Chain A
């Protein structure tokens, strides 16, 4: 059974109320998802809160997953990213200091086996990103990790909105071509 098949089976069991299945998905995906939300929120406490909310949402909304729209891995990163960006925006609006970064302790080193498999995927993604123009890469990373709209990105980078839309399309098309069928974990 492939990783994707395993994920679908876990999701099916979650829909049936099997919490152990969510535990399995948690073990498989939390290192990736936590790294993502921590990158966005820059605080381990906020990252853990956001990730907890994300997993509860996975539990509650498992039935809304549509395999025709993408893989379980992509869906999970979307749930986690949305939660993190929600929290990021609310913290940002409350913070009085722009660009405040917490320097709390970082978690211990990840499991070498899982880190290796993720790093292989990470290496392939970084190699693919390296083939993009700096502008294409910048708009993708700003949009993904900071949640800015295309209008806000255009203002940030000093480019017309239409150009930002083109860079976004070109960048994602390139990634799609170079990474057509990836196993997440």
Chain B
């Protein structure tokens, strides 16, 4: 039975000592048959299972995970949430996610530490400002908060940046989304797992799905390293290994798997209040923020070629650091503490796929590119609705797999059918 967390519960835990705390989700045995089998216990898989159980009343739901809950990208991102996208299909969807982030701690009864500290997209060139203004205008037309700041306003909003300070590429202004910010990423995986488990979802770790069983044109179950499991519906939410799911199902997907690196510095005293995002001239996309523990969390562009190694390129790490130093030179003496990479399922237009795949009762939740973490709450709710009712909600109608063949791409980056352009 799940313990309800509250101020009173904390007080009781203080008195009772650590014996009060119980495992967040219970280790249940794998059953023979389920209504829905979700493959992949990352953010999207767990959120889908949670919404299937809570919103649609499905009681026989399993989440099968090859390794551990939260081993993949949900624990490997830079924890940023925002909805500042240009295309309507994307910004409405991510805005739905951001609204859910705002209330997620309450919905899950688990503190995911949503911190709306403001996402600041900096302009470092004359070209950047009109681009940011256009994106901001598109967002405001959709009712999403966005504010274009000139230099004095930016100085007021992020004084620690000292934007007027001489730099090789001076800061000209910024687009700010005030409700954007960060969320404690591991807590998202744990919170969803705990809430789903409390609703009766079986979370089975160390259980790799190796194949799909079919009969009469529909899928009937999955083969796993722990034996066969019958399932009426199957959802794949396997992020970096999505391309392998395509191979398993005999449907080559418009997906390439690339590495994205992130790193965190040693903890330092509070320096940076906001999340900074910008294109550093010569070094590409750079984003950095300071974690609650004090470490500077930094990330950059993709490594630039397909890889499953989860080992980042050193020259890209250097790029990210130099990009960070261009704008925040005062961190030059700070040391990198940890550095890691996640495998990203990059689609050919930079937008996700939530759709049926090959069989009427097999669903794919994939192609999240760099946007997977911030999408989790909306993706889980929408995907669960598609799986439970058979109809895709309007929010994800544009994310269908067939859009590549029919030419209805959601080409947010706007550089054609490539997952990466360096």
A, B from the same assembly? no
